Structure 1
Amino acid sequence: MRIARIAHAGGTAHAVLDGGTADLIADPFAEPPAAGGAADGAAGRAPVRLGRRLPLAEVRLLAPVLPRTVVGMAHNTGPADRALPPQAFLKPARTVIGPDEPVHLPDGIGRVDAEAELAVVLAGSPAGHTPDTVLRTVFGWTVANDITARDLQRSDPLWTSAKGRPGFTPLGPWIETDLPAPDDTEIALTLDGVPLRPAATSGLARGIA
């Protein structure tokens, strides 16, 4: 199922994308947890449909989720990174923009790289879970562009200035709730209209969980 956030003539909404239409639904992250599933939040719950459909031609796709923060994982590009310890980094919410929004780069920022990533959208806290159970907290999957200012990264060990600028995490265009093989999914990136070499999550140093 493809779940999106959209802008339309009446405002913004969540919707299930079905063919050429957007079927409006209640905010899936605001719904109360199902009985017995409080720890896992919205994961696995059916969307609440509002009975209104809009043609896709009349809507604009926004970032499919507005996270409080974005957690990235470094040292996970390929097998060689297995010799390095896992390293998480944070990106503030202000970095998140929609899939077709422009990224404004300040003058003098230097080299800037686009990095296509598989993004995991959590519906609940992973605290207390094991690798065997943590995927129960996953609401779905989307694509992120982890934009990085390389010249700034060299002088900032926490990468805050290099990765935390407004617009440095384009997300979307939707959340896929039924990704069949998150540990073996190909991700491709197009830069200035030129397709770059695709990569797959099967090549990561560590698995999703």
Structure 2
Amino acid sequence: MRLIRFAYQGRSHYGVLDDDVVFPLTGPPVGDFALLKYCFSLSEVQLLAPCEPSKIIALGLNYRDHAAEMRMALPTEPLIFLKPSTAVIGPSTPIVYPPQSCRVDYEAELGVVIGRPVSKVSEAKAKNYILGYTCVNDVTARDLQKKDGQFTRSKSFDTFCPLGPWIETDIADPDNLVVEAILNGERRQHSTTQNLVFGVAALISFISHIMTLLPGDVIATGTPSGVGPMQPGDHIEIRVEGVGSLHNHVTR
């Protein structure tokens, strides 16, 4: 099932997408919700970011091939950082190149969307708290990351967290999916979540022992090798096997 957020006549709604038909929901797809008795064509609505996270928890160096690319040792524990909710945009919304930076990079990632509150969960039970999966572009001002020596400014600009195009609930094995980035039609990143240092269940368990995860929160599971710069005018596509494709343009 594909869960979406969409705008129609100036108002946002949650819904289910079946082929090109949008079935609105009575509310967010958590807890008690139901389908309404009318529908729209996909062409009638604008897709928004599929959830409204209170926080995005992202991972550094969580792909073996990316760590090798950066010539860095694999972490012994997940290396986590936060992106603000204000960085979130949806499909087809422009990524704005900030004037403070001279290099802005794409980072293709599998996103895990939390479905209900979770704190201190075991790895064995972690997947019971997953609503579904989405595509994430962990946009990064690489020059500012190197300058600052930490991640907050470089990862937090408005528009630096494209999500979407929907939440896919029917993924049997999130630790065996192809993740790709395509810049202006040319594939730049290509790997599989088999290369994750810490898999999805391990990440949920680890993070939930630090902070409570709330419905709609997103874990961006890390990026594979091949990260690189984008320029104003570029088109970036993030693909995750079984989930979908997230398209955005870059602008000043």
- How far apart, CA to CA, are the structure 2 residues paired with 1:124 and 1:15? 18
- How far apart, CA to CA, are the structure 1 residues paired with 2:76 and 2:103? 25
1:125 is matched with which residue: 117, 135, 141? Answer: 117
- How far apart, CA to CA, are the structure 2 residues paired with 1:94 and 1:10? 20
Which amino acid letter does the alignment assign opposite residue 137 of structure 1? Y
Counterpart in the other structure of 2:247:
none
Which amino acid letter does the alignment assign opposite residue 58 of structure 1? E
CA displacement at 1:102 relative to structure 2: 0.3
CA displacement at 1:150 relative to structure 2: 0.6
- Corresponding residue pairs, total: 195
TM-score (norm 2): 0.73
- How far apart, CA to CA, are the structure 2 residues paired with 1:10 and 1:102? 19
Counterpart in the other structure of 1:28:
28
Counterpart in the other structure of 2:64:
78
Give the 3 Å change call, closer, same or farther, for CA 144–31 of structure 1 in structure 2.
Answer: same
Q: Does 1:201 align with 2:187?
A: no
CA displacement at 1:9 relative to structure 2: 2.2
- How far apart, CA to CA, are the structure 1 residues paired with 2:13 and 2:185? 30
Q: Does 1:111 align with 2:97?
A: no
TM-score (norm 1): 0.87
2:80 is matched with which residue: 73, 88, 104? Answer: 88
> Which range is displaced more, 141-150 or 184-193?
184-193
Counterpart in the other structure of 2:54:
68
Counterpart in the other structure of 2:183:
191
Q: Deviations over 1:141-164 (max 9, x none)?
A: 101000011110012233111001
CA RMSD of aligned residues (A): 1.7
Counterpart in the other structure of 1:6:
6
Which amino acid letter does the alignment assign opposite residue 17 of structure 2? L
- 8 Å contact kept, 1:75–1:84: no
Q: Deviations over 1:21-57 (max 9, x none)?
A: 101112235645xxxxxxxxxxxxxx51011110011
- How far apart, CA to CA, are the structure 2 residues paired with 1:121 and 1:87? 19
CA displacement at 1:173 relative to structure 2: 0.2
Could you list the runs of 5+ residues in structure 2 that have no partner in the other structure?
68-72, 202-252
- 8 Å contact kept, 1:14–1:27: yes
Matches within 5 A, 1:160-175: 160-175=152-167
Could you list the runs of 5+ residues in structure 1 that have no partner in the other structure?
33-46
Relative contact order: is structure 1 or structure 2 higher (C-alpha 8 Å, sep ≥ 6)?
Answer: 2
> Which range is displaced more, 125-134 or 58-67?
125-134
- How far apart, CA to CA, are the structure 2 residues paired with 1:83 and 1:30? 34
- How far apart, CA to CA, are the structure 2 residues paired with 1:138 and 1:94? 22
- 8 Å contact kept, 2:49–2:164: yes
